[in-house]
Structures are given as structure tokens and as C-alpha cells.
Structure 1
Amino acid sequence: MQISKQLLTAVAISMFLASCQDHSGPSIVSRRGIPLTGEQEVPVKNVPGSGTADVVYDKSTHVLSYTLTWSNLTGNATGAHIHGPAPRGVNAPIKHDFFSLISKTTSGTFSNSTVVDGTSLTEDNLLNGQYYFNMHTPANPAGEIRGQIEF
């Protein structure tokens, strides 16, 4: 009887530990060169500006790191954020504001990170492409260039 209880306990512990493992793929996902364009804005903007975003998300620490590069905006940046949740073609509220940290220029590069806290930003929405970068200018106060964060 004692051996059966020990075996049952060992099997239960093994099953519990196996269920705790993340079977959804690598713990770090990334994407380089996400385009930021006026064509992705809603409504579409016919502007000379463009940019790219490189993103890295660490599922174990819940940290989203990103680098944005932009050029040829119609004026100095007046806003820069992550919006969501929303698919391509749909606008959504600001979820992460980093405007105070960027250079207020028509061209530039900026790197930062934020915690995917489960409230403002959720892992499911991030991994399902439901957030986007948006940069604003005086000529386009609702957004001049946009890029959907998709892995």
C-alpha cells in the first residue's frame, strides 16, 4: 500500500510539473523591419514619411523591447504611442505612450521597452497582432504613420 501511495504521489507531481511548462513555442519572439506607413493609417494618409520597427518580446519576463526608425515626416513628431487592441484597418486607444522620450524631429531613431502587464497590454493581444505603433504630426494629429505589431 505504501509503494502505491508513493507512486501515485510521484505521478501526480510529474503531471503537475509537465502542465506548468510552456508548450507554445520559444520564449522569445521577434520581428525586424515592421513597416510604418501612411497607407496603414485610418483613414489612409498620402505622406512622404515612413519608418520601421524592430520588436522583441520575451514571454518569460513579459518585456516588449522595440526600436523605431522614421524619416521624412511632414513635420516634427507630436505624438508616438502603441495603440490597441485593434486589427489592421481599425483605430484604438493609446495603451503605451512614449512620446515624451523621443526626439521631436521629422527623422529619428528611438529604442525602449515596456512590460506587457496583462492590463494595458496583454500577451494574447500582442501575439495576435492587435497592437500598432503610431506617430503623429501637426499636419496629421490623428496619426501620420502606423505599423501593426505582428510576429
Structure 2
Amino acid sequence: MKHLFLVCMAAFSLAAAGSLSASTILFDLQGTGGVGLLNTSEPGSPAGGTGGEIGGGISYDDVTNLLTINVGWGSSQGFTDLSSLSNNSHLHGPTTNNNGNGFTETAGVLFNLTRSSNATTGGTITQTLTALSGAQETDLLNGKYYINIHTVNNGGGELRGFLVQAVPEPSRTLLGMLGVGLLMFRRSRKA
């Protein structure tokens, strides 16, 4: 029984440790074409490459209000090459509706994003944006922002993906629930 108690306490401790990073919210890229930065998610983009999250992905720290973006495109990053050189990259928003009304809405440029390269074969955006205002944070959490990579062939945008909150990793929560459940089981056996 002592061993069971130690396992329960370890599970509870791991779950509690997970709550220390609760200020970081993770995001995935999503669009009408699926998950990632996709040409099929960009209205009117007949051909093009693909991209998506790299490294740490996309995260928002709701204490410092900093949005960190780590995305890439092209074969050098494990995606499909662009149809032509990239010439602009932006964070657009806010759209009128949450998640762009099914990821279909467009919006103006909110922030310019700095690319590591203009090459069709690949590049990255690794950038932390300055502190978002309260209204911008609300729009971000409601899925009203999207990343757009523009190219010479597709000036209106070739790759697009909305920032949607990622489903949280359940393992720490499950460990905590397991720990509490085992403690309750142990108490009921004593009674």
C-alpha cells in the first residue's frame, strides 16, 4: 500500500508541475484546406507550396502578452515548394467572425512578419511580436488572426493558416486525476 501511495503522490506532483506553465497558450494553423499553411486555404490561389509550424510552433504568453511564431515552408523545411519567390508575409486580422467564419474571411494586415528567405525552396518566420493589447488578445483567442505568405505569382497570398488554439496535452491532467482516484480508492479500502 505504501508503494501505491507514493505512485499517487508522484502523479499528483507531475500534474501540479504542469500548471506552472499555464500562461503559455499553444496554437495550430488551420484553414479550409486542412492543418498547416496551405495554398488550398488561400482563396484564389491556384497553385503553390505548403508550410506549417516548426520548432516551438506558435505560442502566446498571456502574462507578457507576447506572441511567438515559428513557421516554415518549402522542401528545405519538409513542406512543398512555393510557386515563385515569396515577397511578403503578414499576420492578418481581425476577421469579423471567430475562426474567420469557417476560415473563409479575409482581413487587413495586422503585423508584417520577417522571413529568413524569399526562396521558393524554403524559409522560416521565427519572430516574437510585441505585447498584444487586450482587444488583440481577445481576437487571437477567438481565432480571428491568420498568417499569409505572399508570392510573386500569388500577390494576394499563396499560403494561409488561421491561428486556432491547440487542444491541450491531456497527460498531466490524466495523471492528476489518476493520482486523486488512487488516493480515493485507498481511503475507501481502509473504511
Fold match, TM over 0.5? Answer: yes
1:11 paired residue number: none
- Counting aligned pairs with the same residue, the percent is 28
Partner Cα separation in structure 2 for residue 149 and residue 31 of structure 1:
6
Partner Cα separation in structure 1 for residue 157 and residue 28 of structure 2:
22
Q: Is the 8 A contact 2:48 2:158 kept in 1?
A: no
SS at structure 1 position matched to 2:140: helix
**Equivalences for residues 1-150 of structure 1 within 5 A:** 26-31=22-27, 35-43=36-44, 45-53=45-53, 54-71=57-74, 72-86=81-95, 87=100, 88-99=103-114, 101-106=115-120, 107-118=122-133, 122-150=136-164
Letter of the 1:90 partner, please give it: E
Partner Cα separation in structure 1 for residue 48 and residue 42 of structure 2:
13
Q: Is the 8 A contact 1:48 1:73 kept in 2?
A: yes
Once the two structures are superposed, residues 7-37 of structure 1 have per-residue CA deviations (whole angstroms, 9 ceiling, x without a partner) of: xxxxxxxxxxxxxxxxxx9311113565000
Letter of the 1:114 partner, please give it: L
Once the two structures are superposed, residues 105-145 of structure 1 have per-residue CA deviations (whole angstroms, 9 ceiling, x without a partner) of: 111223111024328x7000001110000001111000001
Q: Is the 8 A contact 1:116 1:123 kept in 2?
A: no
Q: Is the 8 A contact 2:69 2:126 kept in 1?
A: yes
SS at structure 2 position matched to 1:135: strand
TM-score, normalised relative to structure 1: 0.75
Letter of the 1:31 partner, please give it: F
Letter of the 1:60 partner, please give it: V
User: Hey, which of these two has a bigger chunk of strand by percent?
Assistant: 1
Paired residues, number = 124
User: Hey, which of these two has a bigger chunk of helix by percent?
Assistant: 2
Unaligned runs of 5+ in 2: 1-20, 30-34, 75-80, 166-191
Q: Is the 8 A contact 2:28 2:164 kept in 1?
A: no
Q: CA deviation at 1:39?
A: 1.3
